[in-house]
């Protein structure tokens, strides 16, 4: 069985979304110019006998592309809202994004808050903790530059996806229940 996980990275310009994705894909730090529009990278994983194609969608933080970014997180499994310790206004934008994602997406969507650039300073950590608590999002304090906690974040996304897939597979579907009802009544004469 092959499953697809669509993970969309959103946040303000220069919070390090592209650098985080490159850290995941190439395990190296790449300082890049701002993303224009959207790009996608993918990796293959195997978890509990399930082949997973993890798609990492990099969206532009620029206001002119916000409408386009919304179309990508409407149909995704998870969203990584990226803030930066050196951009306090990125926390305000993160709050807006979480509200927007929750209002436009499926209830089952996973939202993660990534506090990036923790290698620079720690002044934003308290704000990020409060934001994660208020928004019911999981917080990961990461550094695209050093790689700190980036792999742990990806592992968490994959683990949560496979757990939800396993619980979904364990639940009898409506079709199976209908089939059982039909079979039980087949032998009875009216």
CA–CA distance from 123 to each of 9, 108, 117, 118, 119 (Å)? 23, 32, 11, 9, 11
Please list, in sequence order, all residues whose beta carbon lies within 8 angstroms of the beta carbon of residue 19, skipping any fewer than 6 positions away: 29, 30, 31, 32, 116, 144, 145
The label of the residue with tokens 């300082």 reads 31
Q: Is 163 left (phi over 0), alpha (psi -120 to 50) or beta?
A: alpha
Predicted pLDDT of residue 190: 37
- pLDDT of 21-65, one tens digit each? 999 999 999 877 666 667 889 999 998 888 999 999 998 765 644
Q: Class assignment of domain 2-186?
A: alpha beta
Please list, in sequence order, all residues whose beta carbon lies within 8 angstroms of the beta carbon of residue 74, skipping any fewer than 6 positions away: 104, 105
pLDDT in tens, the chain (190 residues): 689 999 999 999 899 999 999 999 999 998 776 666 678 899 999 988 889 999 999 987 656 445 555 666 778 899 999 999 888 899 899 999 998 888 888 888 999 999 999 998 666 677 777 877 877 679 999 999 999 999 999 999 999 999 888 776 665 543 433 333 333 333 434 3
Q: Which residues of 57-82 are buried (b: 16+ CB within 10 A; e: fewer)?
A: bbbbbeeebeeebbebbeebbbbbbb
In angstroms, rounded to a whole number, what is the distance separating the alpha carbons of residues 8 and 69?
9
Q: Where are the domains of the chain?
A: 2-186
């Amino acid at each position: 069985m092959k499953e697809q996980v669509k993970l969309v990275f959103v946040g303000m310009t220069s919070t390090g979304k592209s650098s985080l994705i490159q850290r995941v894909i190439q395990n190296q730090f790449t300082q890049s110019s701002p993303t224009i529009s959207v790009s996608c990278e993918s990796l293959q994983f195997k978890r509990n006998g399930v082949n997973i194609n993890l798609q990492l969608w990099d969206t532009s933080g620029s206001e002119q592309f916000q409408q386009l970014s919304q179309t990508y997180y409407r149909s995704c499994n998870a969203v990584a809202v990226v803030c930066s310790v050196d951009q306090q206004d990125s926390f305000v934008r993160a709050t807006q994004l979480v509200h927007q994602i929750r209002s436009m997406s499926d209830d089952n969507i996973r939202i993660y808050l990534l506090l990036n650039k923790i290698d620079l300073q720690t002044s934003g950590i308290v704000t990020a903790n409060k934001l994660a608590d208020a928004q019911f999002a999981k917080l990961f304090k990461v550094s695209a530059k050093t790689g700190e906690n980036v792999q742990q974040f990806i592992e968490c996304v994959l683990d949560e996806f496979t757990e939800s897939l396993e619980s979904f597979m364990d639940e009898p579907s409506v079709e199976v229940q209908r089939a059982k009802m039909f079979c039980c009544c087949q032998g009875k004469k009216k």
